[in-house]
Amino acid sequence: MRTSIASVCLSGGLVEKLHACAEAGFDGIEIMDADLIAAYESPEEIRALCHRLGLTIDLFQPFRDFEAVDEATFADNMRRARAKFEVMQRLGADMMLLCSNVATATTPDFDIAATQIGALADLAAEYGIDIAYEALAWGRYVSDYRDAWDIVQRADRANLGVCLDSFHILSRGHDPAGIAEIDPDKLFFLQLADAPRMDLDVLSWSRHHRLFPGEGDFDLIDFLSHVILAGYRGPLSLEVFNDTFRQTDVTRTAAHALRSLHWLYDRTAAQNDWTDLQLDAPQPPCAIDFVEVSGEDLSAVERTLSQLGFTFGGRHRTKAVRLWEAGDARVILNEQVRTPGSRLVGLGFEVGDAAAAARRAHAIGAPQVFRRTYAGDYELPAVASPDGTEVYWNSRTAAESWLDEFEGRVPLGEDTAETALHGVIDHLNVAYPWQEFDEAVLFNTSVLALDAEPASDVPGPRGLVRSQVMRTADGAVRLAMNLAPPTAPELPRHVAIRVDDAVSAARRARARGLAFLPMPSNYYDDLDARFGLEPDFLAELRELNLLYDRDEQGSFIHFYTPTIGDIFWEVVERRGTYDGYGAASAPVRLAAQRGGPLL
């Protein structure tokens, strides 16, 4: 599989973009005319640079508003075309993308369009150039790839074919099954982009909101299957118009872009049982094994954990690292760093095959993390997520476990076993700055093998907070992602522990002196209005600062600790088959965290 990327996906000048693409490992590039026009380097210099970097120029694009026009416009369009063919010849580019006319077309007659495009192809042939005709979703008379193919057939030139772009096809809901009808020799080029489902005019949607594969809602695995089964053998090229990616670090975006293609190709090959599969199978995690918090002095975190009912799980035999446990919820406190505060820096997953998970992650391009280990320590393979959080995998068994590295654990006595907190890590909640969010979604899909739930917007005191949960199908692992508002890029992270009885857990925590995040009294009046709760139950919720939600599947009781450093803790109880996160209470919680009387 050859990989390519349109220069429009990246930020900066053309030379910078070419360097970033080569460094990331792309095979080729689509050069956007606008990027060339704005460059001080001549076409010959760009050609030489691409050659030196080992990049092929797979496409020169776009050429616009050409076909189905009146005679005078046609003559001028041919003059324009000749000028661009001359530039392409100097560049050494041998395929031009022709977009369907969105502005100047005056006739819906496909024969006229075909005659004019045929003349363009004949002119291109003089320069040894191929024309790939693409139906833009908002084209005036041609907005469906099947119509573009119709016109290409009518024109019938050897150097004329179609360019398929997943955005234009899937945004309009056109069935990709029709790709099988196209002569494979006429499948000249393929552009791939994902996008979130949106209720927006298709032009704005395309120009601002395209995403890399795996980050949006399109079924690109199905789409790519159709294209490859139809016989396409050209490069897989990314064409993602997105305001964020055009403002972020070009090297990082290029690397991230290539990961999205590797992921897409791997999943498509796996779905079709193609035997040239090179990557290990994804390893969806079975559970969150631990979270790791670091800081030079974590005594305040330790106090909160102990008030919550966590018990001391031992001291690492060689490092300044301690373990706290609440049943199967494990927190590692790492004081080996010299940074103040406390940060959630790592998490561990239990998986079927940790080595396979790590091999796959590295093949997709996730950066490996090396941790200093000592003789007898377990080697947990790990990668760094885009925000720097370290993710560890382990196929822990009763016989062999990193837990054995901890000494001095306090066994639970008869009395403490009764009152200690006992649970599992239900979910983590992490906020991302706007420029890192989509990259994090792709990481969670491609490297961690999690699936995205539909995104939603939660009203917070500083505006809507985009919220997206990524999880395993069985819900055993859930990562809740928030898009931090630009004014608060460092929103605290939180860890939610699931227990069987959150009310008792809250009572015991309060008896141990835990300060809860206080909820406004109005919140409880509203709960009563919404749910008509038993007076005693409502009083208990109010007394303990508990939050509550209910839907057809069940109910949800939970509470929060105040924030320490940039982390806080949540205790949750899911009743029935409740599967949410108490979204209706989130605005109140966010407001309480910002202005609550104890903070």
Ligand X SMILES: O=C(O)c1ccc(O)c(O)c1
- The site for Mg ion (CB under 5 A) is made up of 165, 191, 239
Total residues contacting ligand X by CB under 6 A comes to 11
Nearer to ligand X, 30 or 549 (CB): 30
Task: Decide if residue 240 touches ligand X (CB under 6 A).
Answer: no
The SS3 assignment for 523 reads helix
DSSP letter string over 27-68? Answer: SEEEEEHHHHHT-SS-HHHHHHHHHHHT-EEEEEEEE-S-SS
Nearer to Mg ion, 191 or 429 (CB): 191
Write down the least CB distance from residue 98 to Mg ion, Å.
11
Write down the least CB distance from residue 165 to Mg ion, Å.
4
Q: Is 390 labelled as part of a ligand binding site? A: no
**CB count, 10 Å around CB of 85?**
22
What part of residues 103-162 is at the interface with ligand X (CB under 6 A)? 134, 136
- Looking up tokens 């789409």 gives 223
As a whole number of angstroms, the distance between CA 567 and CA 338 comes to 17
Q: E strand or H helix at 550, and its extent?
A: strand 547-550
Q: Is 570 labelled as part of a ligand binding site? A: yes
Write down the least CB distance from residue 33 to Mg ion, Å.
13
**In the complex, which residue's CB is closest to Mg ion?**
165
What part of residues 42-101 is at the interface with ligand X (CB under 6 A)? 61-62, 97, 99
Nearer to Mg ion, 165 or 289 (CB): 165
Pairing of strands 236-238, 311-316: unpaired
The SS3 assignment for 387 reads coil
Instruction: List, as own/partner pairs, every contact residues 533-541 make where C-beta atoms lie below 8 angstroms and the sequence separation is at least 24, other chains included.
Output: 540/503
The contact pattern for ligand X, residues 171-210, with x = CB under 6 A and - = no contact, is: --------------------x--------------xx---
**In the complex, which residue's CB is closest to ligand X?**
62
The alpha helices in 217-341, defined as continuous H runs, are 220-229, 250-271, 299-308
Question: Among candidates 475, 476, 469, which has minimal Cα distance to 445?
Answer: 469
Nearer to ligand X, 170 or 477 (CB): 170
Q: Which of 27, 94, 165, 302: binder of ligand X (CB under 6 A)?
A: 165
Q: Is 45 labelled as part of a ligand binding site? A: no
Contact in structure between 122 and 110 (CB atoms under 8 Å): no
Q: Is 427 labelled as part of a ligand binding site? A: yes
- Looking up tokens 């007076």 gives 535
Contact in structure between 314 and 408 (CB atoms under 8 Å): yes
Q: Is 209 labelled as part of a ligand binding site? A: no
Is the backbone peptide bond immediately before 62 cis, with ω within 30 degrees of 0?
yes
The SS3 assignment for 563 reads coil
Write down the least CB distance from residue 105 to ligand X, Å.
15
- 206: partner contacted, choices Mg ion, ligand X, none (Cβ within 5-8 A by kind): ligand X
Nearer to ligand X, 29 or 136 (CB): 136
As a whole number of angstroms, the distance between CA 26 and CA 54 comes to 9
Mark the binding-site residues for Mg(2+), compressed into ranges: 427, 494, 570
- Can you say which residues are annotated as belonging to the binding site? 134, 165, 191, 239, 427, 494, 570
Point out which residues bind ligand X (CB under 6 A): 61-62, 97, 99, 134, 136, 165, 191, 206-207, 239
Q: Where is the binding site for a divalent metal cation, in residues?
A: 134, 165, 191, 239
